[in-house]
Chains A and B, each alone.
Chain A
Amino acid sequence: DAGVTQSPTHLIKTRGQQVTLRCSPKSGHDTVSWYQQALGQGPQFIFQYYEEEERQRGNFPDRFSGHQFPNYSSELNVNALLLGDSALYLCASSPGQVRGETQYFGPGTRLLVL
Chain B
Amino acid sequence: GNSVTQMEGPVTLSEEAFLTINCTYTATGYPSLFWYVQYPGEGLQLLLKATKADDKGSNKGFEATYRKETTSFHLEKGSVQVSDSAVYFCALDLSGNTPLVFGKGTRLSVIA
Binding site for B on A (CB under 8 A): 4, 6, 31, 33, 35, 40-45, 48, 55-56, 58, 88, 90, 92, 94, 96-108
Contacts and interface: CB of A to CB of B under 8 A. Distances in A.
A56 B43 CA distance: 22
A32 to B, nearest CB: 11
Instruction: Give the interface residue-count category, chain B.
Output: 20 to 34
A43 B100 contact: yes
A105 B96 contact: no
Contact of A90 (B4, B44, B46, B94): B44
B102 A43 contact: yes
Contact of A99 (B93, B99, B103, B105): B93
Given A42-B105, A105-B45, A97 B97 contact: yes
A43 B96 contact: no
Interface in B86-100: 89, 91, 93-100
A41 B105 contact: yes
B51 interface: yes
A33 B43 CA distance: 14
A74 B34 CA distance: 24
A103 B99 CA distance: 9
Contacts of B42: 107-108
24 contacts: A6-B43, A31-B96, A33-B100, A40-B104, A41-B104, A42-B103, A42-B104, A43-B89, A43-B100, A88-B43, A90-B43, A90-B44, A99-B32, A99-B95, A100-B32, A102-B34, A102-B46, A103-B93, A103-B100, A104-B46, A105-B43, A105-B45, A107-B42, A107-B43
